[in-house]
Every structure is written in C-alpha cells, then in structure tokens.
Amino acid sequence: MLAGKYLILRELARGGCGSVWLAEDLHLPKRWAVKEIKKEREDQGMELKREAMLLGGRSHPALPVVVDFLDTEHFGYLVMEYVEGVTLAEAVRQRGVFSEEECLNLLCQLAEILRYLHELRPPVCYLDLKPANVLLTEEGRVVLVDFGAAMENEGAACRRGPCYGTYGYAPPEQCGELGMEAVCDQRSDVYALGMTIFFLLTGKDPGLPPFGLKSCIGWESMAGREFVRILKTCVEWLPEKRFQSMREVLVAAEGCMAEKRSAGVFQKRGGRIGRILCRVLPGKRRFVLRQEKSIFLTGKKRAGLSPFIDADGAV
C-alpha cells in the first residue's frame, strides 16, 4: 500500500534507475502506473521531482498524465496514467521488424510529439529516445514515457556532461564524442529518432558492434530511396548536417508518405499502422492487425470469438 490509497498489484517494468508498478486507486475506480526510484544518490529524488514538474500540466495524447508525486526518506514515487501497450522494443522482439509504411507512420507520430516538446516555452529536449521508451497501444498510437533525462532549455540549447543517455541512440555530442563542450539541443532528439526508426526497420541494435547504421549491412535495400535519405539525414554525425528541427523531419516524412501513396506504393489507410501485428497484453485476449483491412481487432471486440486463420495463413 502506498500513501494509504494506492494498492500495488504487480511490477510492469524494471530498469537501471528503478521500477514501474501497476497500482489500483482505492478512492477512485482507476489504475495508475507508479514509477519508483530508490534514492541511492542525493540527486535522484530531485530528478524524479523534475520529471514530475516537466510532465505536470502538459496536455498531449502522446504524454502520460501525472496525477501525484510522493517523496519518502528512501524512495520517490511518480503516479501517472497507466497506458496499456507494449514498447517498440518488445513489439520487434514479438513480431519482427516493421515495414517501411509502418516506420513512416511511427516516424511522423514521434516527430509530432517531439515537435510539441521542442516548441514549448521553455522548450523541452527529451534526450533519451529509444524503442524501450515508446509504448505502442492497441490502436496504433505511440506514448512517450520516462522523462528522466529530459531537460528544459531556458536558452537555445542545453549542456550536459558526457556519457549519458543510451549508447547507440544518443548522438555523439551527448556521449562526449564531439568534445566536452558539445551542446545538446533539439537536433540531438533528431538523431535519436533516426536511430529508433532504423532499429524498427532492421531489428538491429545500433548500440552493438559494429554500431550505428553499420550494424545492418545492406539495410538501404529494405526501404525506398527517399526514406533512406531521411534516416541518413537524421543521424548525421555533426548536428549542423542533420534536420534542424522536428518540423523539417515532419515535412520530409509526410512528403515521402504522400509521394508513395500517390504512386500506389502505399494504400490509404486512415493513419493506421499496416501489416499484421500480434501481441498479448496482460489480462487481455490476443488481438491482431489484419493487413488487408489495416484495423485492430482488439481484445474487447474479439471477446468470446474463436481465433481464425485467413486464406494466406495469417492468424
């Protein structure tokens, strides 16, 4: 029991800095996700409080709503909206890589939420974008979680020490590879976005040898020329050679999608993610995304129905 009103049910996730628990609210008919941080260092409690302040008051469908912050002698707790879904990392492990169309769809969604953060006053840089920090809901919507590394920029840029973030997804200036005085700004998130989509397209972790785009030889053949150009521009080594804002990424990605649809490469699908997507959520029935209809058959809609097999063998 936490604070006399949150009944902890089970663990949802565990990371290097703490755990996330599913909790039932005894005062309201609601369930929340509770992020727990053990205060092994004096600054860890402040980091969680800063995360609460960054998310508190923000209103965006791709951001979890923060409802409470609790501070004890040895632990800090952040109570937020419980979003039912799987991370993009888990989705790749369960179902394999994403198609070019799916990647473009997710690229646009992630670029839009990062554009929102970057254009706040003061701007917010996320600084830890990776597949494990993005939830995919059963409707095909993405939700950005874990703002432990995020920073507000009072000026045009923010500075941090070297070697933080997640290697392979964090840009070179964030890992101290461009010098100790390198600046992290919105272009740092552009780099991480490119590497995240690269992982979804190839299934190769850019943080493992031989690192970066080289971790998948011949990956350019997995997508069209314009989409490959967009990813390569996102992950340029020097920030000044990348897209300079998320608006630029959105314009390029939406233009690429429109061009492919007009050429008949992609069918119009109302913004839904294509191809078959199978996954199992705790306490729910399996649901699928059928390629030919491109709609989610959720656990609720499928309740009581037996599994079926299409003529092409898709479950």
pLDDT in tens, 265-308: 775 444 334 333 333 344 433 333 333 233 333 333 333 433 33
**What per-residue confidence (pLDDT) applies to 149?**
86
Residue ranges of E strands in the chain:
6-14, 18-25, 30-38, 66-71, 75-81, 85-87, 124-125, 134-137, 142-144, 151-152, 278-279, 287-289, 296-297
Quick check: 196 pLDDT over 50?
yes
Choosing from 43, 68, 128, 312, which is the catalytic residue? Answer: 128
**What per-residue confidence (pLDDT) applies to 225?**
93
**Tens digit of each residue's pLDDT (9 = 90 or more) over 23-77:** 999 998 999 999 998 887 766 677 788 888 888 878 899 999 999 999 888 889 9
Distance CA 206, CA 71 (A): 36
**How deeply is 82 buried, as exposed, middle or buried, from its count of CB atoms within 10 A (0-12, 13-18, 19+)?**
middle
CB 139 within 8 A of CB 296: yes
Quick check: 311 pLDDT over 80?
no
**What per-residue confidence (pLDDT) applies to 168?**
93
pTM for this structure?
A: 0.80
C-alpha radius of gyration, the chain, whole number: 20
**What per-residue confidence (pLDDT) applies to 159?**
63
**What per-residue confidence (pLDDT) applies to 180?**
67
CB 230 within 8 A of CB 253: yes
**What per-residue confidence (pLDDT) applies to 299?**
36
Is 312 part of the annotated catalytic residue set? no
**Residue type at 81 in one-letter notation:** E
Distance CA 99, CA 257 (A): 13
**What per-residue confidence (pLDDT) applies to 183?**
84
Domains of the chain: 6-81 (3.30.200.20), 85-262 (1.10.510.10)
Overall average pLDDT of the 98-105 stretch: 95
Q: Which of 250, 277, 246 is nearest to 94 (CA)?
A: 277
**Tens digit of each residue's pLDDT (9 = 90 or more) over 153-188:** 765 566 655 557 789 999 999 888 887 677 889 999
Strand 134-137 and strand 85-87: the pairing is: antiparallel
**Tens digit of each residue's pLDDT (9 = 90 or more) over 247-276:** 999 999 999 999 888 887 775 444 334 333
Distance CA 90, CA 93 (A): 5
**Tens digit of each residue's pLDDT (9 = 90 or more) over 199-255:** 999 999 999 988 899 989 899 999 999 999 999 999 999 999 999 999 999 999 999
**How deeply is 167 buried, as exposed, middle or buried, from its count of CB atoms within 10 A (0-12, 13-18, 19+)?**
middle
